[in-house]
């Protein structure tokens, strides 16, 4: 939790020596509280105060990062419980699990499509983040082999899963130089796991059945010098998992409770039922997980999960905009109508969806209205005859069609006169107000 200026002042030498460039220590403290200067500007501050101030400046949820050659998955630094309060920052990583008792062929068959998977959503290519290799054999050499097999196919970041430190050690050696995530330290093995994490400079997952146990373990492990931790609260069902993740997030943000100020991992893959797994993954995405381990990979499950993650982690203050342009729906030809709308994503989707569902071909002219809906943009002067005419010309609509006709959204019927002046020789039609009425309008009127 950030300290106030007065609290910071108490930690300063209080000599008003002006060496920092400010007239008094209090003035300097106020600037520090406002994060407008660095503490280093004070040459006299004690080591003890330095560490206290550094701690208070640390984010309530530590940022933890897993790296491999060319890839990174990170989680943490979240500041709110509800996305509308600000935004969620770091999208949770989606990892697919393989087991070391699977044959090399089985492992390759499972991970190849995951590694290659890419799906386009509103112009963004979405991919999975990496793999969790789990030791079911308990044998260090088998584990290292499985990891090598994964690395023959994919370079994406890894989570190494075993409760046996010698198995983890073999895995870490197999990918020396990378920064995988180790899963997991528990009350039995934590010392050896902490040593490995420290030696290989890797983040470490801490697991326990209760928050008490987790908090105790993270304190002990931090005392050994390992700071990059992730929590696995081992949720036993939807309810248990949701409550624990909520409590951890609340403790970190509202109480600045350092022992639980870390990103959280969930393992929906343990559900052993793909339908449950997908629903648990949804809960994890919406409610506070930072790393999510799945057992099942199918495109039809990965696609909605990746899209949901994108949606939940959209900044509510910056709505997704669609690239302005001339969009083709149902393979339009030169006789087909040109429908005008704005580049607010929801507006675009509502319109595109209805036209698409109608089965009728059309050109959709998405005008740059600075990401606002039709009425809002019109009221703000961002969607007027001039802008519409500009996009008709700018996107070379005329070259695509034989009949010079555009359809305006019903809400801006008032623009039709001006648009006729801007676009002489064009037939300006007024469509329905609501997207849902577009199909019948197209069938009956166009």
Partner 1 sequence: MPVEIPKDQWAGTVRLITLGATEADGGTRAHTVTVGGQKTLPFMNFEAESPNPPVLALEIKDRRPDDWSPLLLETWSEVINDPARWAEAAETAGADLIQLSLSLTNKDGEPNSPDSAVATVQSVLKATGLPLIVIGPGQAEADNNLLVPIAEATKGERLVLGICEDKNYRTIVATAMANGHLVTARTPMDVNLAKQLNILISDMGMPLDCILMDPTTGALGYGIEYGYSAMERLRLAALQGDSMTQFPMIVTPGFEAWKTKEAKVGDGVPESWGDWLNRAIHWETLTSMTLLEAGADILVLRHPESLKRLEAAIADLTTHPAVA
At 189, list the tokens. 């093995």
The footprint of partner 1 on residues 189-218 (CB under 8 A) is 209-212, 215-216
129 in Cβ contact with 157 (< 8 Å): yes
Name the residue nearer to partner 1 (CB basis): 38 or 219.
Answer: 219
* CB contact set of 434 (below 8 Å; sequence gap of 6+): 410
Distance CA 47, CA 321 (A): 49
Which of 109, 121, 328, 421 binds partner 1 (CB under 8 A)? It is 121
Q: List phi, psi (to 5°) of 181.
A: -105, 130
By CB under 8 A, residue 128 contacts partner 1: no
Residue among 209 and 420 whose Cβ is closer to partner 1: 209
Please provide the size of the chain in residues.
Answer: 446
Question: How many whole angstroms separate alpha carbon 339 and alpha carbon 213?
Answer: 60
Reduced to 3 states, what is the DSSP secondary structure of residue 2?
A: coil
Which of 82, 176, 318, 399 touches partner 1 by CB under 8 A? 82
How many residues touch partner 1 under the rule CB under 8 A: the total is 61
Determine if 89 is a binding residue for partner 1 (CB under 8 A): no
**Applying CB under 8 A, does 307 fall inside the site for partner 1?**
yes
Position 445 contacts partner 1 (CB under 8 A) = no
- Indicate which single residue of 314, 400, 404, 416 sits in contact with partner 1 (rule: CB under 8 A): 314
The closest alpha carbon to 366, from 423, 413, 325, 412, belongs to 325
From the list 145, 166, 189, 345, which residue makes contact with partner 1 (rule: CB under 8 A)? Answer: 345
Unique residue bearing structure tokens 């199918």: 298
What are the angstrom distances between the C-alpha of 183 and each of 144, 197, 264, 358, 381? 15, 10, 12, 50, 54
Among 199, 246, 335, 402, binds partner 1 (CB under 8 A): 246
Nearest distance, CB of residue 169 and partner 1, angstroms: 28
Contacts with partner 1 in 216-245 (CB under 8 A)? 216, 219, 236-240, 242-243
Residues 6+ apart with CB under 8 A from 201: 179
CA distance 247 to 249: 5
Sequence-distant (≥ 6) Cβ neighbours of residue 116 within 8 angstroms: none
Q: Is residue 361 exposed (0-12), middle (13-18) or buried (19+ Cβ within 10 Å)?
A: middle
The 263-282 contact track toward partner 1, x by CB under 8 A, reads: ------------xx-xx--x
CB of 210 to partner 1, least distance (A): 7
| Residue 216 beta carbon to partner 1: minimum distance, rounded to whole angstroms | 4
Taking the complex as a whole, the smallest distance from the CB of residue 9 to partner 1 amounts, in Å, to: 29
Contact call for residue 283 and partner 1 (CB under 8 A): yes
- The nearer residue to partner 1, 400 or 433, going by C-beta atoms, is 433
Would you say 84 or 201 has its CB closer to partner 1? 84
CA angle 112, 117, 122 (to 5 degrees): 175
Interface region with partner 1, contact rule CB under 8 A, candidates 53-61, 161-169, 179-187, 344-352:
344-352
Q: E strands along 338-418, which residues? A: 338-342, 362-367, 405-408
Binding status of residue 44 toward partner 1 by CB under 8 A: no
- Tell the smallest beta-carbon distance from residue 363 to partner 1 (Å): 18
How far is the C-alpha of 301 from the C-alpha of 185, rounded, in Å?
30
- Binding-site member from 10, 18, 224, 254 for partner 1 (CB under 8 A): 254
Smallest separation (angstroms) from partner 1 to the CB of 380: 17
Query: Does the protein bind partner 1 through residue 164 (CB under 8 A)?
Result: no
Q: Smallest distance, Å, CB 136 to partner 1?
A: 22
**Residue 432: closest CA among 334, 326, 339, 331:** 339
Our finding on whether 356 is near partner 1 (CB under 8 A) is yes
Rounded-to-integer distance, Cα 8 and Cα 52, Å: 9
**Judged by CB under 8 A, which of 13, 71, 79, 83 binds partner 1?**
83
Both tokens assigned to 286 = 């919406």
23 vs 304, which CB is nearer to partner 1? Answer: 304
Distance CA 437, CA 354 (A): 8
Distance in Å, CB of 338 to partner 1, minimum: 21
Q: Which residues pair with 232 in a beta bridge?
A: 207
Q: At 427, is the secondary structure helix, strand, or coil? A: strand
User: Contact 198/179 with Cβ under 8 angstroms?
Assistant: no
In terms of CB distance, is 173 or 237 closer to partner 1?
Answer: 237
CB atoms near residue 78 (< 10 Å)? 22
Q: Residue 347 Cβ, how far from partner 1 at the closest point, in Å?
A: 9
Q: Which residues bind partner 1 (CB under 8 A)?
A: 82-84, 117-121, 209-212, 215-216, 219, 236-240, 242-243, 246-247, 250-251, 254-255, 257, 259-260, 275-276, 278-279, 282-283, 286-287, 298-305, 307-308, 311-312, 314, 316, 345-346, 349-350, 353, 356-357, 436
């Amino acid at each position: 939790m950030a300290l106030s200026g007065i609290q910071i002042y108490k930690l300063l030498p209080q000599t008003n020596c002006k060496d920092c460039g400010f007239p008094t220590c209090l003035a300097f403290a106020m600037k520090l509280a406002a994060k407008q200067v660095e503490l280093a500007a004070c040459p006299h501050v004690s080591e003890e105060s330095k560490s206290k101030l550094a701690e208070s400046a640390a984010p309530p949820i530590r940022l933890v990062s897993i790296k491999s050659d060319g890839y990174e998955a990170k989680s943490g630094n979240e500041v709110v419980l509800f996305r509308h309060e600000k935004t969620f920052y770091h999208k949770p990583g989606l990892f697919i699990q393989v087991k070391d008792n699977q044959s090399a062929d089985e492992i390759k068959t499972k991970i190849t499509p995951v590694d290659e998977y890419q799906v386009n959503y509103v112009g963004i290519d979405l991919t999975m983040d990496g793999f969790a290799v789990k030791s079911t054999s308990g044998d260090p050499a088998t584990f290292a082999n499985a990891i090598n097999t994964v690395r023959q196919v994919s370079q994406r970041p890894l989570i190494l899963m075993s409760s046996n430190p010698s198995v983890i050690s073999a895995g870490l050696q197999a990918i020396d130089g990378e920064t995988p995530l180790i899963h997991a330290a528990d009350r039995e093995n934590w010392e050896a796991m902490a040593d490995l994490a420290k030696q290989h400079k890797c983040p470490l997952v801490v697991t326990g059945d209760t928050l008490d146990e987790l908090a105790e373990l993270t304190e002990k492990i931090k005392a050994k010098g390992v700071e990059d931790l992730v929590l696995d609260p081992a949720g036993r069902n939807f309810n248990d998992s949701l409550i624990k993740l909520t409590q951890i997030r609340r403790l970190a943000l509202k109480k600045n409770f350092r022992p639980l100020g870390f990103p959280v991992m969930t393992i929906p893959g343990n559900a052993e039922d793909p339908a449950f797994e997908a629903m648990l993954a949804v809960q994890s995405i919406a409610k506070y997980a930072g790393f999510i381990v799945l057992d099942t990979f199918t495109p039809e499950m990965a696609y909605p999960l990746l899209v949901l993650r994108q949606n939940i982690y959209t900044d509510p203050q910056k709505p997704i905009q669609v690239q302005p342009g001339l969009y083709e729906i149902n393979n339009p030809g030169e006789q087909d109508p040109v429908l005008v709308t704005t580049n607010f994503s929801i507006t675009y989707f509502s319109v595109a969806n209805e036209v698409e569902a109608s089965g009728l071909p059309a050109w959709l002219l998405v005008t740059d209205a600075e990401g606002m809906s039709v009425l809002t943009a019109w009221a703000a002067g961002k969607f007027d005859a001039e802008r519409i005419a500009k996009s008709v010309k700018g996107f070379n609509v005329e070259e695509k069609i034989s009949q010079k006709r555009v359809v305006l959204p019903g809400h801006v019927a008032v623009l039709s006169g001006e648009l006729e002046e801007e676009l002489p020789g064009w037939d300006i039609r007024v469509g329905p107000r609501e997207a849902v009425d577009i199909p019948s309008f197209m069938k009956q009127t166009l």
